[in-house]
Every structure is written in structure tokens, then in C-alpha cells.
Structure 1
Amino acid sequence: MTEPADIAREVITTNRYMVLGTADADGNPWVTPVYFTADEFTDFYWVSSPTTLHSANVAVRPRISIAIFDSTVRIGGAQAVYMTASAALVPDDELEAAAAIYNSSLPTEKRIEPAELRAPGLFRLYRATASEHSILIRGGDPRYGRGADSRLRVTL
């Protein structure tokens, strides 16, 4: 039987988009999908404009939520990982190493140079560091099910 932490690792490894849950200064929620690269299942990198709503939200409220799942599976067959995290712009002094991590999941023609991620460029590199991971547990799961779908905290 597959262990819960292994399910989380597989979901993170086999999917390329995650959904960020952010909130503005007044607490108004916003969710958005972003292409990501994971590093060690705890650090998640994405490129975005600092003028987008989710980037502006991260600037004022760095505490975010993340969901990663495969939306192509049949109904009732989904696996998902949920995370709480802290997010921020990658500082310029860490940009070279962080951009190499982000680019590691991209085809060569899509890779972005660190210089393109600094002002006056249009985009920046962001990083979220997860503090908690949970997976989706189906209600009928023979080992962890509770009758209704739920989440199970895992350590990665």
C-alpha cells in the first residue's frame, strides 16, 4: 500500500501547475494557477509580474495556501496536495541559484535568464516555502477513510 507521504511526493513530481491562494490587505481571497518548479518538496518557484493580483497580495500578506492536483483524472480518482506556506520575491543575491532551480523543469527554449527577473524587466521569480503538507483522502479509503473526503497531514 502506498504511504501518504509518497502520494504527496508523486503529486508534486508529476504535475506542473499549482494553485496559489492569496489574500489582499483586507483579507479578500484570490486564487490563481501558476507553472512551478519544486525543490525538495518544500520550496516552490514560479515566475510572475509583480503587478498581478496574486503578486501584490504576496507583497502585503506573505502567508499563502497551495493546492497541486491532476485535473485530468476521472471523477473520484483525484489525488491532491494542500500546503500552507510563506511566499516572497526571491532576493537578488539568491537569484542565480533560484533561477537555475526554476529553469531545471523547463525546456531549453523556455528558460529565463536571471537578468530578465530583475528591474526593469517585467517578471520576477517568487518562492513559497511550505510549512505544512496534507493530502486528499477519499472517504472510502480502506486505511484512512472517514466516510467523507478529508485531508491527512504528511511530513515530507
Structure 2
Amino acid sequence: MTQEILDQRAAAVIDANKYMTLGTICADGTAWVTPVYFTPDGHSSYYWASSPESVHSRNLARDPRVSIVIHDSSVAIGKASAVYLTAIAELVPAEELEDRAAFYSSRYPELRGFEVDELREPEGLRLYRANSLDHWILIRGSDPDHGTGTGTDSRHQVWPT
């Protein structure tokens, strides 16, 4: 399997899913994970809206390092595909908020678009962005090209820098 095929598989997983699992670091060093619906901007940035009072948002205010996994939990056991990534998260800066809010909500017609004022104080949501550092794709152990030949899955880097 070529790097191009691995990259295409990873892009397909990202494009096909609306939820990602966001992992943040609590003050005591423990992990906190939460699902959020997201909009990808290629494979470099991932956007979501959350309350600044949520556990993960408070964690990000203290430590912006995140881990993310994007996967389809509806597939049969043993058929999973997933993309893992590490990133640095931030609040979307005020000067980018209008454009990025429109971009974020464009993936979700059911949201009817966020008004920028809904994402500023005193309202309860903010727009966040994770800027990716590294990506990997999960390859099933039984994959004919990159599998381990066992039941052990492996991760392969995609979009290497």
C-alpha cells in the first residue's frame, strides 16, 4: 500500500464522520475525553463549538495539547477505520470568528449557521480549533497490504511532514 493510498483512506475517514473524540489533560494529569461534532479544514485544522465552562474547554485554557481520534463506531467489530492525531487547540481569534463560524456551520445545515454573536460573551459557546501536528491511520491486522497478519492492528503515519 502506498503512502498516497494511506493518505486517501485517512481523508475518507475524516470526511465520512461528524464526531471526533477529543482528549485533553486535566490539572492532575489525568486524561479527559469527550465527543464533539467537528468540521475539518483539510487535514490541518478541526473546528468545534463548546462551552468555555465544559471540562475539556477549561483543560484547554490551561494546556492546549490534545489528542483526537475520528472513527465510525457504527461499523461491525473488526471493520473499524480510524484516524488519530495530535494537535494544539485554541479559541478561534476574534478577527477570524465570522469567517470560521460560517465555515464550521457549513457542514451542518441543521444548525442553520452560527451567528457570530452566539460564539462571544455573554453567550454560552465558543469556537475552537485544533491545529494538527501529526496524523496516523489505523490499519487492521488482517489488511492484505499493511496488516500484521494477526489480530493486532497498527497505526501508520499519514501526511508526513
What is the alpha-carbon distance in structure 2 between the residues aligned to residue 4 and residue 27 of structure 1? 33
Aligned counterparts, 1:51-130, within 5 A: 51-107=53-109, 109-130=111-132
Instruction: Work out whether 1:151 is the aligned partner of 2:155.
Output: yes
What is the alpha-carbon distance in structure 2 between the residues aligned to residue 110 and residue 124 of structure 1? 17
Alignment-mate amino acid for residue 114 of structure 1 = V
Q: 1:30 to 1:109 in 2, by over 3 A?
A: closer
Q: Which consecutive residues of structure 2, in runs of 5 or more, have no partner in the other structure?
A: none
Shift of 1:108: 5.3
Q: In the comparison of the two structures, how many residue pairs are matched?
A: 156
What is the alpha-carbon distance in structure 2 between the residues aligned to residue 62 and residue 3 of structure 1? 31
Give % identity: 53
Q: Deviations over 1:60-91 (max 9, x none)?
A: 11010000000111111111000000001111
Q: Secondary structure at the match of 1:3?
A: helix
Alignment-mate amino acid for residue 151 of structure 1 = R
TM-score (norm 2): 0.92
Q: Which consecutive residues of structure 1, in runs of 5 or more, have no partner in the other structure?
A: none
RMSD: 1.4
Instruction: Work out whether 1:39 is the aligned partner of 2:38.
Output: no
Dislocated runs of 4+, deviation >3 Å: none
